[in-house]
């Protein structure tokens, strides 16, 4: 396989002397018409990778801000097939790598082989699937591999070194380190043991490391130095847009 687009985008950011910026936005948020305007603004504002959430009715890893936004998108008619169709129409318009983050049920119902083919045709570069453990990821990984799409591993504070090594064996794109034990959402502080676990992740993985869950400001990254290559932020962005702001304004905080 050729080098992952996602890895390339992160390495380009590091070469420019900064962390890779990886905003998360639910598909169809704040509404189906404006969503692609916000997506374009994130891309133009310096996003290196954009995670698009596939709305689902039972989002077990999502905190209240992301969960409510996703449920609103469902009520407004957002679905996986619509998202892929609209992305395909815009393929090639974004510099940022596109990742779909969602739960296994909609992907399985869509059909894994068809999902991988349609995602590749839509310009998607990878997937984050929080509710698929390593032991059950084989069919999805096999389907994605055929189209050079990355299945991004999620690891966290309670992931053992043995399990980290198992995830690292087939890791592509980047590894997503979950900074808290719990769901997504803004935190004023992060657990002190993160640095120790990130050190283990850095030692075992050959792909870049992104930190997510609980991140609301660039200052939170200062304590981690070179242990982190990229940062994922979602709840803070969603709250900013809900309060009347724009993605372009929000990205200025992270580029300054």
Q: Domains in the chain, ordered, with CATH? A: 5-246 (3.20.20.70)
pLDDT of residue 187: 42
Encode the chain (256 residues) as per-residue pLDDT tens digits.
678 999 999 999 999 999 999 999 999 899 998 999 999 999 999 999 999 999 866 655 456 666 777 677 667 778 899 999 999 999 999 999 999 999 999 999 999 999 999 999 999 999 999 999 999 999 999 999 999 999 999 999 889 999 999 999 999 999 999 986 544 444 444 556 888 899 999 999 999 999 987 787 888 888 888 999 999 998 889 889 889 999 999 999 888 6
Secondary structure of 182-207 in HEC code, one letter for each residue:
CCCCCCCCCCCCHHHHHHHHHHHCCC
- Give the three-class secondary structure for 61: coil
Provide the b/e sequence for 89-100 (b: ≥16 CB within 10 Å): eeeeebebbbbb
Sequence-separated (6 or more) residues with CB below 8 Å from residue 195: 223, 224, 227
Catalytic site positions: 51, 62
The pTM assigned to this predicted structure is 0.91
Place of tokens 């869950």: 213
Q: Which residues contact 89 (CB under 8 A, 6 or more apart)?
A: none
């Amino acid at each position: 396989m050729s080098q992952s687009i996602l890895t390339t985008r992160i390495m380009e950011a590091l070469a420019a002397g900064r962390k890779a910026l990886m905003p998360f936005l639910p598909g169809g948020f704040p509404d189906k018409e404006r969503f692609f305007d916000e997506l374009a603004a994130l891309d133009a504002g310096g996003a290196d990778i954009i995670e698009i959430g596939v709305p689902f009715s039972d989002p077990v890893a999502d905190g209240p801000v992301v969960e409510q936004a996703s449920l609103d998108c469902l009520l407004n008619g957002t679905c996986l097939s619509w998202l892929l169709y609209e992305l395909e129409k815009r393929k090639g318009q974004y510099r940022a790598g596109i990742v779909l983050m969602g739960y296994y049920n909609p992907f399985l119902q869509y059909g894994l082989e068809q999902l991988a083919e349609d995602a590749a045709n839509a310009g998607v570069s990878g997937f984050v699937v929080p509710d698929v453990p390593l032991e059950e990821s084989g069919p999805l990984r096999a389907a994605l591999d055929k189209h050079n799409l990355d299945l991004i591993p999620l690891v966290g504070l309670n992931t053992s070194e043995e399990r980290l090594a198992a995830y690292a064996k087939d890791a592509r794109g980047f590894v997503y380190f979950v900074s808290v034990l719990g769901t997504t959402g803004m935190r004023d502080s992060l657990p002190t043991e993160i640095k120790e676990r990130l050190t283990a992740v850095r030692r075992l993985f050959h792909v870049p490391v992104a930190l997510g869950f609980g991140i609301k400001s660039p200052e939170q990254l200062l304590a981690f130095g070179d242990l982190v290559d990229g940062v994922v932020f979602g709840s803070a962005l969603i709250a900013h847009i809900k309060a009347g702001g724009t993605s372009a304004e929000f990205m200025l905080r992270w580029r300054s």
